[in-house]
Amino acid sequence: MNIKEMLGKTAREVPQKTAIVLGSQRVTYQQLDEASNRVANALIELGMKKGDHAAILMSYSPEWLINYFGVVKAGGKTVILNSMLRAPELSSLLRDSDSKILITEKSFSQMLSSVLPTLPLLKHVMEVDNDSYQKMLASSSAISPTVDIEDDDETAIIYTSGVLGKQKGVVHTHTSLMAAVFTVAPGLEQKREDICIGMIPFFYLLGLAVVALIPFYKGSTVVILPRFTPRNLLETVEQEKATMLVGVPAMFNALAMLDDETLKRYDLSSLRLAFTAGAKASAHLMKALEEKFGLTLCEAYGTTEAIGTTFGGIRNRKLGTAGKPVEEIKIVDNNGKEVPQGEIGEIIARSPQVMKGYYKEPELTAQVLKDGWFHTGDLVRMDEDGYIEYIEKKSFIIVTSAGVKIPPTEVEDVLLKHPSVAEAAYVGVLDEHKGQIPTLFVVPKEGQDITAKEIRNFCRQSLANYKLPHKIEFVDSIPKTGSGKIDRRQLKETK
């Protein structure tokens, strides 16, 4: 089944079911199907051919999904762009991706004004909140176009800095995206009655696959939460009677720290499940989340290049791990030799969920895809029961001047158990004379006083001396990437 067939099947089975919610806006499956058909036919009328590249630069909204499915149905490749990027970054990616069409909104027009004249391949720019776009759709057919789409056709280019630290276009096929859907959906026991609040934008693969494709495959309802705050989330759960939450650990950490008095103000009894990925979750805080919200937490590990490599489903999970492998994996040392169970090594994966390659980058592709195995650059450990614990990216392991290696999450997990600590990030801050200085950044809870000495003493109770921070910085907030992960690259360069 390809993505076009998947949406069409669900729309035929439950046409009047609500597919997407954003505030007061409601879109049924029939409306989603017909509106995306209109987009597809309009694109074909503009001259779009099968395999042409159409970029999407839009806010987190139902219109994003309508236009995404429109490009898919027209047989195009969606170039999925991060809406938080700046003009020079967008210029580079639009040029690299060979996009012929850009689907965007008026809010981006000023930023794009300096970019568009430099892109000779870009033939059409469509603003979805423009009158001309609306007129074009109104005159377009709502019947699905007859474009021959094969499961192995390339369908998406998603840019990530991922394994190699520079922006690259990850090419996925219908097969690789749908394989992830078929793998994860059963473990969530997702049903048509589920109402899923998505806190992850669709330009991240976690958002596209788990917030959109899995619910649409199952015929569930997706509730878009454009801006996460604990209050926004609690109000939306109560209002929509949500059953599922999809977010990253930083969001669930904030929810786990809410006091009981706050939670009592809301009816959260509809919740049954939370799904997290994108960074390592704290077992301590996730246990608190489950107890306070009366739900089950499921965690997965994957990358943009290899979706859903490990997964802990409702009946097969262990807090503090990212579940068990759902792809063929190995855990290897620097020489490519498998490490004994219980030891740390790099996880490599082979499955239909792995990308086809990096767009126009055969040499970079060859660095990470070897004999069919994708080399993630991520360090993990398999425990005695076969569960995978994510440790850290190879590049973020702290290496002291003595050559000792420290996985930062080990220290962060300890700190998050301190009653006065709201957030913590441990990185090797670069110093041209001393190399990496193990530096701990701490956000105290509001109204709490805490000293560096107290933190060191707290760490010393659980950690070896070589893991203790050389320097402690108190900050108001920890910088995050757009996907909610700690921005370690930024912290490493802190002066």
Domains of the chain: 3-149 (3.40.50.12780), 180-393 (3.40.50.12780), 397-492 (3.30.300.30)
CA distances from 367 to 156, 311, 354, 376 (A): 21, 26, 14, 10
DSSP code for 494: -
- Mind giving me the DSSP string for 271-301? --EEEE-SSPPPHHHHHHHHHHHT-EEEEEE
Which amino acid is located at 152 in the chain? D
d(CA 492, CA 185): 37
Number of residues written out for the chain: 495
Residues 6+ apart with CB under 8 A from 97: 53, 55, 79, 157, 159, 169, 359
What CA–CA distance (Å, rounded) separates 215 from 158? Answer: 21
CB of 375 within 8 A of CB of 163?
Answer: yes
User: In this structure, are residues 140 and 94 in contact, taking their beta carbons and an 8 Å threshold?
Assistant: no
d(CA 454, CA 216) in angstroms, rounded, equals 50
For residues 137-148, b (16+ Cβ closer than 10 Å) or e, as one string? beebeeebbebe
Beta strands 471-474 and 435-444 are parallel
pLDDT digits (tens, 9 = 90+) for 106-154: 999 999 999 999 999 999 999 999 999 999 999 999 999 999 999 999 9
Tell whether the model's pLDDT for residue 395 goes beyond 90: no
pLDDT of residue 402: 62
Question: Phi-psi region for residue 308, left (φ > 0), alpha (ψ -120 to 50) or beta?
Answer: left
Q: What is the pLDDT of residue 403?
A: 64
pLDDT at 164: 57
Question: Above 60 in pLDDT, residue 165?
Answer: no
DSSP 368: H
Residue 443 has pLDDT above 80, yes or no: yes
What pLDDT score was predicted for residue 263?
96
CA dist 227 and 394 (Å) reads 31
Q: Which of 292-301, 408-417, 419-428, 470-479 has the lowest mean pLDDT?
A: 408-417
